[in-house]
């Protein structure tokens, strides 16, 4: 039985729910900030889409971390949490007029633009307001990150960013717009990346591009944004609770050639919040099939969709039992065969009412929950209030 979860408190709470270890979150943020601060021009933005729980956003604000948003709703959530507009960047291929107008009115730091029609829309809306919008070009660096196909974003075939061949046209277009100022280049190659060489490859693409822009057009932009993507160890939530930020930032410090006066921005999502969250669920029934034993739990794919959507692994623990282990398929109650959290997992003997923790669920967990089968969205509790 694990003692570092407040099991007595869990026993009195209706499941399923997300539980956030705020001590671990603070330690993770402090580590990331400390490691980034070793380089005086490195800035961290939090990728809000990983987890937009207001308490998580408040923790970011307390640490002075900015926000990377991919929708108007996220811009609003970041501002509502007290994150200053001048620390907010806004990316996304499909920003609507409403979202652009609101972000202009809020006075955000930068729009990461992904197409010519988008920059024309921003120009028109900024002109209406008599404002000048700061923009960065999201470049598609054509780097194949070693991660799940659904979460690579930096390939020419992906919908994101602007390809090299079209860069000149986009820069010309921005230079012709009175209400846009080009301040930077933005990149993001994907998510859950643990192979540091992928980031090394990104660095060499950025270096090449900077060289070309300087030599061909005499352009040196003040901001370089390399996105996020640093992965977490889903197999080792306790041993590797805090990601290796030192190694991650060192890759950029060693491989990226910044020009004088350039600031380097990071947009970290998963690595900041992933390990601090667990989805807590009860065993409703243990069902013995002919060749399988199922632990049917009260959480479903609607509460945590990563296993069903990405084939993702989450470590599962039985917090109520220290009996001998048996093999289970841990499954939810949703009417979909893909509603499986993990197959053939060894767990201490499970019985009805046992509480299980599905670990490493702080990122893309609660944020991706939905209401299929008329299910209520999962609640969330913090260690600060129930620990």
Ligand X SMILES: *Cc1c(COP(=O)(O)O)cnc(C)c1O
Which of 269, 277, 365, 378 binds ligand X (CB under 6 A)? It is 269
- Specify the residue, 50 or 345, whose C-beta has the smaller distance to ligand X: 50
**Site for ligand X contains 68 (CB under 6 A):** yes
Radius of gyration from C-alpha coordinates of the chain: 22
- Smallest distance, ligand X to C-beta of residue 213, A: 21
Which of 270, 306, 314, 315 binds ligand X (CB under 6 A)? It is 270
Which of 51, 140, 191, 318 binds ligand X (CB under 6 A)? It is 191
- Specify the residue, 138 or 375, whose C-beta has the smaller distance to ligand X: 138
- Smallest distance, ligand X to C-beta of residue 4, A: 25
- Specify the residue, 182 or 297, whose C-beta has the smaller distance to ligand X: 182
**Site for ligand X contains 228 (CB under 6 A):** yes
**Site for ligand X contains 223 (CB under 6 A):** no
Q: Cβ distance 75 to 88 under 8 Å?
A: yes
Residues contacting 94, CB < 8 A, separation 6+: none
What is d(CA 30, CA 246) in angstroms, rounded to the nearest whole number? 12
- Smallest distance, ligand X to C-beta of residue 159, A: 12
- Specify the residue, 271 or 360, whose C-beta has the smaller distance to ligand X: 271
**Site for ligand X contains 66 (CB under 6 A):** no
**Site for ligand X contains 72 (CB under 6 A):** no
CB-based burial, 203-231: b 16+ in 10 Å, e otherwise: bebbeebbeebeeeeeeebebbbbbbbbb
Which of 154, 229, 237, 243 binds ligand X (CB under 6 A)? It is 229
- Specify the residue, 142 or 293, whose C-beta has the smaller distance to ligand X: 142
**Site for ligand X contains 47 (CB under 6 A):** yes
Q: Cβ distance 154 to 187 under 8 Å?
A: yes
Residues contacting 211, CB < 8 A, separation 6+: none
Q: Within the chain, where are the H helices?
A: 7-10, 22-36, 54-62, 72-80, 97-106, 116-128, 167-175, 196-217, 245-255, 270-273, 306-310, 383-386
What is d(CA 364, CA 362) in angstroms, rounded to the nearest whole number? 7
Give how far the C-alpha of residue 274 lies from the chain's centroid of Cα atoms, to the nearest Å: 8
Q: Cβ distance 18 to 381 under 8 Å?
A: yes
Residues 73-112 that bind ligand X (CB under 6 A): 91
**Site for ligand X contains 70 (CB under 6 A):** yes
Alpha carbon dihedral 32, 34, 36, 40, in 10-degree steps, equals 160
Which of 17, 18, 49, 113 binds ligand X (CB under 6 A)? It is 49
Q: List interacting residues with ligand X (CB under 6 A).
A: 47, 49-50, 68, 70, 91, 188, 191, 227-230, 267-271, 363
């Amino acid at each position: 039985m694990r003692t570092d979860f407040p099991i007595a408190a869990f026993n009195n709470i209706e499941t399923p729910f997300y539980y956030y270890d705020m001590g671990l979150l603070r330690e993770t943020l402090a580590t990331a900030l400390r490691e980034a601060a070793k380089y005086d021009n490195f800035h961290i933005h939090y990728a809000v889409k990983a987890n937009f729980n207001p308490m998580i956003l408040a923790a970011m604000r307390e640490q002075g971390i900015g926000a990377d948003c991919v929708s108007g709703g996220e811009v609003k959530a970041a501002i509502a949490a007290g994150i200053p507009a001048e620390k907010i960047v806004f990316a996304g291929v499909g920003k609507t007029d409403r979202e652009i107008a609101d972000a202009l009115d809020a006075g955000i730091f930068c729009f990461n633009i992904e197409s010519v029609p988008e920059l024309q829309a921003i120009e028109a809306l900024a002109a209406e307001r008599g404002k000048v919008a700061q923009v960065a070009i999201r470049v598609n660096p054509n780097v194949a990150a070693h991660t799940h196909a659904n979460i690579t974003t930096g390939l020419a075939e992906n919908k994101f960013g602007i390809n090299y061949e079209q860069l000149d046209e986009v820069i010309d277009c921005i230079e012709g717009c009175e209400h846009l100022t080009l301040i930077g280049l933005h990149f993001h190659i994907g998510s859950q990346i643990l192979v540091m060489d992928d980031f090394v490859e990104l660095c060499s693409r950025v270096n090449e591009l900077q060289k070309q822009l300087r030599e061909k057009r005499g352009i040196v932009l003040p901001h370089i944004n390399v996105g996020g993507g640093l992965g977490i160890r889903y197999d080792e939530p306790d041993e590797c609770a805090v990601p290796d930020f030192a190694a991650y930032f060192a890759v950029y410090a060693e491989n990226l050639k910044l020009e004088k006066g350039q600031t380097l921005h990071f947009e970290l999502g998963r690595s900041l919040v992933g390990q601090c969250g667990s989805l807590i669920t009860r065993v409703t029934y243990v069902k013995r099939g002919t060749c399988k034993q199922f632990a049917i739990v009260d959480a479903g794919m609607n509460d945590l969709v990563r296993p069903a959507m990405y084939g993702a692994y989450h470590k599962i623990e039985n917090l109520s039992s220290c009996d001998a282990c048996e093999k289970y398929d841990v499954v939810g109650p949703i009417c979909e065969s893909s509603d499986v959290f993990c197959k053939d997992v060894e767990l201490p003997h499970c019985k009805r009412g046992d509480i299980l923790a599905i670990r490493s669920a702080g990122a893309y967990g609660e944020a991706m929950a939905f209401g299929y089968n008329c299910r209520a969205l999962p609640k969330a509790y913090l260690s600060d209030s129930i620990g």
